[in-house]
């Protein structure tokens, strides 16, 4: 493991493997019998240290690299453990760290079979981090798959409702998406000229820029990548695993999945599909337009019909992905930037929403909105965070989601004015759904369980901090989107350059 | 060092020694025989690895050849033998202990036949070696003379094996009629550069049918689940892994490197092989879903794996052959630990029913983890070893432009994940801890399975040794397995 990145200090480049090593250590420690919740918490907190070191380097130099020199695919085994972080992966790594931390914070130490529970949570976080950091396509793909089985177990063992069906559907659906994606990746690698074939996507995208793939092949490759990544992002019609899966998952798992893991699909499209198959992407953008309109309208109306708060969150979380896709086909840096901000903002807001839903469920034993009421009166702190999550999801100015959506709408206006109109209509739909839910849950007669529950509200700093942490980032990015956009801008510009 | 010390000769000698020892030692003092067999098999494994590269005795004429393929697969088969012997040590024999030595010795003869198969370069040699393997296996499958299932297994294996041998012999006869020889290189020379005659193609088809029985490819697969279920578990593992691998090694020898490596054959038989592969993958995967007995379950899983290997091999290119060799090793490494587990499960619970797995994740977390990793590796989930194999299959198909095979492979991989998740589901979420009986597995099982699981992970992240093995296997020259030594 020689070679640090271009000019980045040797020692600091080791912060990247540290980012993955710490959760792995945590997993091993928990498996060997360390106290589960405390270990998971410590690992998630400590992981911020290498993260901040890496962030520092990225902010100063634009990127940080770790790993051996790139080799050609003609090697015996061309896979290499190379990691990198630049302005595009930085916000997603930040998102992963924060959501993992608060998911572990929300999880209860008394949960049954705590060891396996926290182990699975850490593994999902590890998979997401690895996928965002990996440069080698082998690891890029593998790390995402690492999260598959823990999600299966989390939903199956600790889930609620139709947990068995949800777990099977989600796992198999995601596996199908991943394999289609795998075919797309194989296709990308093998369309590079023979001497320059490599699994390193940084090199590969430069190679394919210099030697573009033939237009008709680009069409098919972009299509494969769209279906593969689109399934992971729950793009209609590949979405049906998502709402039910999130509704059945225990809160921390839903937070990690809806907040972080789903963003992997969008990240992959930004990283691979847009720069490597630009012509194909343009050619299929009308198909994407139809799909994303369906995402916004169909899932938006479906979310109106939901009677269970978890299901509503599931549908609205899948629906917002349509807006992100609008940014991706807008063809402007502004639109891409908006997509990135919305990805991150939605990650925080979805996590907050599922965390609140989980707490409500813990206290009342139900998340059916008609059975709920009086939250504002009996549990004001919990209600506040419910409000924050709801408002963020609607896109209230001041929150990260607003910043993202407005940039997307402006960025996509010139190319797709009709879709922007549909996107704006989506904001209306999600407002109706969310406001109705908030009204139903927080006002009216108090739920019986809330009255009798000893600590109806969040109990002190110990229970509040995960919510506060997510809220902080929602507002911070909402007020200063440049926190994300500044470092990401050069990367996004490079993506759109021919 | 004389070439007479090659593994085949030593294997036969070891078998003879075991039988002699059994007849010379008094009854009641034979407890150490299985351990002796185990020691011998380990010694032989070391010998094949260390002495790899020993050329075969010249007096065997043109029947055998020592090349990369035989060098790579001799250790493979001897490793299977070690596993079987190890399981035999743990295998409860009941009243039939009097005939125990045969149970130990026959796998040695069978392995000798397998090693010969790996180096055969003449159809006569193939026939002889195959019969040496098969006859030993008929006896072993029916070893429990008092148990109906075992007898049924032996009977089915005998009939089906006989049928497949019939096809093979018929094919060889037609081949001799068409080309005037059974020697690979002579057939190649004779047929190169001219259109294949009908008789020749018929011969190839008959031989392929014979081999399809051996690898349990659809539609010649029906014997496998029943035989696997009824045969003694150590023998099941040998049938499932070594015997299947033998079929594939023969395919490699005959279609890939040897007699039928001709364009005229490829034109006709490439679609046939690919269709076989598609059918095998599909049926193996779908039929596995309702299985509730772990041995039958593994039988269908093995059929599905055979389908993937056929798909890769069916492209008839070098990439496909390499994939096949690698896949066979992956198959060995991921399914043998499961067979060892099944044996112990039968000892503890009395049957191989899937419901005995319920709650294993809490009762025996180490065993469950190792087992889960093996199953997930078979499912082809990264970063485990099985993913590299599947990836290699998909890449091969992609580069060959075989869209139907690719689509079926991908869809069946998803369904496959579904059925490999079944035992995992049973182990981790089926029953709560309090309703679990307190029976425990022996301590060594934990270590074996954990080690196997670790191997899946380690080799999955770093399959370089395996890739080197594949490269060596396709090299034409005979040199040591470990060139740096």
> Which tens digit of pLDDT belongs to each residue from A147-191?
999 999 999 999 988 889 999 999 999 999 999 999 999 999 988
Q: B464: which chain A residues are within 8 Å (Cβ-Cβ)?
A: 76-77
pLDDT attached to residue B53 = 52
Chain A residues closer than 8 Å to B382 by CB: 138, 141-142, 145-146
Instruction: Average the pLDDT over B261-287 and give the result.
Output: 92
Alpha-carbon gap, residue B423 to A369, rounded angstroms: 37
B418 CA to chain A: closest CA distance, Å? 7
What does the pLDDT read at residue B60?
63
**Cβ of residue A171 closer than 8 Å to a chain B Cβ:** yes
Distance separating alpha carbons of residues A494 and A152, to the nearest angstrom: 37
Dihedral (CA of B342, B348, B352, B355) sign:
negative
Q: How far is CA B80 from the centre of its chain?
A: 8
Q: Which residues of A touch B418 (CB under 8 A)?
A: 168, 172
CB neighbours of residue A283 within 10 Å: 16
Residue B345 Cα to chain centre, angstroms: 22
List, for residues B343-401, the tens digit of each pLDDT value.
998 888 888 888 888 888 888 889 999 999 999 999 999 889 999 999 999 999 999 99
Higher-confidence residue: B468 or A476?
Answer: A476
pLDDT at B438: 60
Question: B417 in contact with A at a CB cutoff of 8 Å?
Answer: yes
Residue B202 and residue A80: Cα distance in Å, rounded? Answer: 47
Q: Supply B66's token pair.
A: 């020592």
| Alpha-carbon gap: A86 to the closest alpha carbon of chain B (Å) | 25
Higher pLDDT, B92 or A321: A321
Would you place residue B408 in the very low, low, confident or very high pLDDT band (cuts 50, 70, 90)? very high
- The most confident of B21-30, B58-67, B339-348, by mean pLDDT: B339-348
The residues pairing with A308 across neighbouring beta strands, listed in sequence order, are A368
Write out residues 100-119 of A within 8 Å (CB-CB) of B: 113, 116
Rounded to whole angstroms, the Cα distance separating A307 from A324 reads 26
Give the list of residues 6+ apart from residue A10 with CB closer than 8 angstroms, or none.
A4
Q: For residue B433, is pLDDT > 80?
A: no
Say whether B429 and A149 touch across the interface (CB within 8 A).
Answer: no
The pLDDT of residue A74: 62
User: What pLDDT digit, counting tens, does each position of B148-207 carry?
Assistant: 888 899 999 999 999 999 999 999 999 999 988 888 888 888 888 888 889 999 999 999
Q: Do B481 and B53 touch, CB atoms closer than 8 A?
A: yes
For residue B3, name the pLDDT band (cuts at 50, 70, 90). low
H or E element, residue A451: helix A448-452
Q: Does B404 touch chain A (CB under 8 A)?
A: no
Phi, psi dihedral angles at A193 (to 5 degrees): -60, 145
Contact B211, B117 (CB under 8 A): no
Length of chain B: 485
Residues 6 or more apart from A280 whose CB is under 8 A from it? A213, A215, A217, A218, A219, A220, A221, A222, A223, A273
Alpha-carbon distance A264 to A253, whole Å?
16
- The answer to whether A189 and A199 have CB atoms below 8 angstroms apart is yes
Distances in whole angstroms, Cα of residue B24 to Cα of each of A169, B17, B30, B109, B130: 62, 10, 10, 20, 31
- Are A378 and A451 in contact, with CB atoms under 8 Å apart? yes
Beta strands in B91-209 (DSSP E): none
Token pair belonging to B362: 């809490």
Report the SS3 class of residue A171: helix
Number of neighbouring beta carbons within 10 Å of residue B106:
23
| pLDDT at B99 (0 to 100) | 60
Q: Do A190 and B467 touch (CB under 8 A)?
A: no
According to the model, what pLDDT value does residue B479 have?
43
Determine, for residues A156 and B425 on separate chains, whether the beta-carbon distance falls below 8 Å: yes
**Token pair listed for A494:** 């490079």
Cβ contact B297:B291 at 8 Å: yes
Distance CA A488, CA A327 (A): 15
Q: Which of B411, B428, B463 is the closest to A153 by Cβ?
A: B428
The ranges of chain A with pLDDT < 50 are 1-8
Question: What is the band of B476 on the pLDDT scale with cuts at 50, 70, 90?
Answer: low
> Confidence band (pLDDT; 50, 70, 90) for B4?
low
A219: CB partners within 8 A, 6+ apart: A279, A280, A283, A284
pLDDT of residue B483: 41
Q: What is the pLDDT of residue A75?
A: 63
Residues contacting B263, CB < 8 A, separation 6+ = none
Q: What is the largest CA-CA distance in chain B?
A: 72
Under 8 Å CB pairs connecting chains A and B tally to: 69
Nearest CA in chain B to A179: B410
- What is the pLDDT, as a whole number, of residue A2? 40
- The answer to whether the CB atoms of A179 and B464 lie below 8 A apart is no
CA–CA dist B322, A353 (Å, integer): 50
Per the CB < 8 Å rule, is A76 touching B468? yes
Contacts with A179 from chain B: Cβ below 8 Å:
410, 413-414
Q: Is A277 helix (H, G, I), strand (E, B) or coil?
A: coil
From the list A356, A489, A493, A409, the residue with the least C-alpha distance to A90 is A489
The CA distance from B395 to the nearest CA of chain A, in Å, is 6
Mean per-residue pLDDT over chain B, rounded: 87
Mutation pick from A32, A149, A241 vs chain B, by most beta carbons of B within 10 Å, is: A149
For chain A, give the number of residues: 498
What is the reported pLDDT for B478?
43
Confidence of residue B62 (pLDDT cuts 50, 70, 90): confident
Residues pairing with A64 in the sheet: A85
The beta-carbon neighbor of B382 closest among A77, A142, A180 is A142
């Amino acid at each position: 493991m020689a070679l640090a990145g271009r000019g980045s200090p040797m020692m600091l480049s080791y912060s990247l493997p540290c980012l993955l090593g710490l959760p792995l250590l945590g997993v091993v420690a928990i498996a060997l019998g360390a106290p589960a919740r405390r270990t998971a918490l410590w690992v998630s907190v400590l992981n911020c240290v290498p993260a901040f070191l890496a962030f520092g380097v990225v902010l100063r130099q634009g990127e940080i690299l770790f790993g051996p020199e790139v080799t050609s695919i003609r090697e015996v085994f061309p896979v290499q453990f190379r990691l990198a972080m630049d302005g595009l992966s930085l916000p997603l790594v930040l998102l992963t760290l924060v959501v993992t931390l608060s998911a572990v914070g929300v999880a209860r130490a008394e949960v049954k079979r705590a060891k396996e529970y926290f182990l699975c949570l850490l593994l999902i976080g590890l998979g997401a981090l690895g996928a965002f950091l990996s440069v080698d396509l082998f690891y890029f793909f593998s790390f995402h798959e690492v999260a598959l089985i823990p999600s299966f177990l989390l939903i199956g063992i600790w889930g609620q409702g139709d947990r068995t069906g949800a777990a099977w559907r989600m796992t198999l659906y995601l596996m199908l998406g991943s394999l289609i994606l795998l075919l797309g990746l194989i296709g990308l690698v093998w369309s590079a000229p023979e001497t320059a074939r490599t699994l390193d996507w940084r090199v590969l995208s430069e190679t394919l820029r210099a030697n573009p793939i033939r237009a008709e092949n680009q069409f098919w490759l972009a299509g494969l990548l769209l279906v593969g990544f689109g399934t992971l992002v729950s793009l209609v019609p590949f979405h049906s695993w998502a709402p039910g899966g999130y509704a059945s998952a225990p809160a921390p798992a839903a937070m990690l999945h809806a907040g972080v893991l789903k963003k992997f699909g969008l990240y992959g499209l930004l990283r691979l599909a847009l720069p490597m198959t630009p012509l194909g992407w343009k050619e299929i953008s009308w198909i994407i337009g139809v799909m994303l309109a369906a995402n916004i309208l169909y899932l938006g109306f479906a979310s109106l019909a939901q009677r269970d708060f978890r299901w509503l969150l599931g549908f609205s979380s899948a629906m917002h992905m349509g807006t992100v896709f609008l940014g991706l086909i807008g063809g402007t840096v502004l639109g891409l930037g908006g997509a990135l901000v919305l990805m991150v903002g939605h990650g925080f807001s979805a996590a907050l929403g599922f965390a609140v839903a989980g707490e409500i469920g813990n206290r009342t034993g139900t998340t059916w909105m008609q059975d709920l009421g009086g939250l504002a009166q009996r549990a004001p702190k919990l209600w506040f965070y419910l409000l924050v999550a709801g408002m963020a999801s609607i896109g209230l100015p001041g929150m990260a989601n607003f910043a993202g959506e407005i940039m997307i709408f402006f960025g996509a206006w010139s190319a797709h004015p009709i879709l922007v109109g549909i996107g704006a209509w989506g904001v209306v739909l999600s407002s109706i759904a969310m406001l109705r839910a908030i009204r139903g849950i927080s006002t009216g007669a108090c739920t019986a369980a809330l009255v009798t529950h000893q600590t109806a509200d969040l109990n002190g700093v110990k229970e509040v901090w995960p919510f506060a942490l997510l809220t902080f980032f929602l507002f911070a990015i909402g007020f200063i989107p440049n926190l994300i956009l500044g470092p990401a801008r050069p990367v996004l510009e490079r993506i759109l350059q021919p | 060092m004389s070439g007479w010390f090659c593994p085949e000769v030593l294997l036969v000698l070891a078998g003879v020694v075991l039988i002699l020892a059994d007849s010379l030692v008094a009854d009641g003092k034979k407890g150490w025989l299985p351990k002796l067999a185990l020691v011998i098999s380990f010694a032989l494994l070391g010998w094949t690895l260390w002495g790899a590269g020993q050329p075969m005795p010249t007096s065997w004429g043109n029947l055998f050849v020592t090349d990369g393929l035989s060098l790579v697969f001799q250790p493979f088969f001897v490793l299977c033998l070690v596993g079987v012997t190890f399981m035999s040590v743990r295998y409860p024999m009941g009243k039939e202990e009097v005939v125990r030595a045969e149970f130990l010795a026959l796998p040695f003869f069978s392995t000798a036949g397998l090693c010969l198969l790996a180096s055969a370069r003449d159809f006569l040699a193939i026939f002889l070696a195959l019969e040496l393997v098969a006859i030993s296996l008929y006896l072993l499958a029916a070893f429990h003379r008092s148990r109906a299932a075992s007898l049924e297994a032996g009977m089915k294996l005998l009939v089906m094996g006989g049928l497949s041998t019939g096809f093979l012999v018929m094919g060889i006869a037609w081949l001799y009629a068409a080309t005037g020889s059974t020697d690979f290189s002579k057939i190649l020379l004779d047929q190169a550069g001219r259109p294949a005659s009908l008789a020749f193609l018929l011969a190839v088809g008959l031989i392929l049918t014979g081999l399809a029985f051996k690898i349990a490819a659809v539609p010649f697969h029906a014997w496998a689940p029943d035989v696997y279920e009824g045969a003694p578990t150590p023998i099941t593992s040998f049938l499932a892994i070594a015997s299947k691998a033998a079929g594939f090694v023969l395919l490699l020898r005959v279609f890939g490197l040897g007699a039928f490596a001709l364009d005229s054959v490829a034109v006709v038989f490439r679609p046939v092989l690919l269709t076989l592969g598609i059918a095998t993958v599909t049926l193996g995967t779908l039929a596995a879903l309702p299985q509730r007995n772990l041995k039958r379950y593994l039988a269908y899983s093995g059929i599905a794996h055979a389908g993937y290997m056929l798909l890769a091999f069916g492209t008839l290119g070098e990439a496909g052959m390499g994939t096949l060799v690698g896949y066979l090793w992956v198959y060995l490494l991921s399914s043998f630990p499961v067979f060892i587990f099944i044996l112990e499960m039968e000892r503890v619970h009395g049957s191989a029913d899937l419901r005995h797995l319920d709650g294993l994740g809490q009762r025996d977390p180490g065993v469950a983890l190792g087992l889960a990793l093996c199953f997930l590796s078979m499912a082809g989930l990264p970063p485990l070893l099985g993913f590299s194999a599947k990836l290699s299959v998909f890449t091969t198909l992609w580069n060959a432009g075989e869209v139907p095979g690719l689509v079926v492979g991908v869809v069946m991989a998803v369904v496959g994940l579904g059925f490999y998740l079944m035992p995992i589901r049973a182990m981790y979420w089926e029953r709560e801890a309090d309703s679990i009986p307190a029976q425990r597995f022996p301590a060594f099982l934990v270590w074996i399975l954990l080690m196997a699981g670790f191997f899946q992970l380690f080799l999955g992240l770093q399959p370089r040794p395996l890739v080197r093995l594949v490269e060596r296997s396709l090299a034409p020259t005979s040199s040591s397995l470990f060139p740096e030594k």
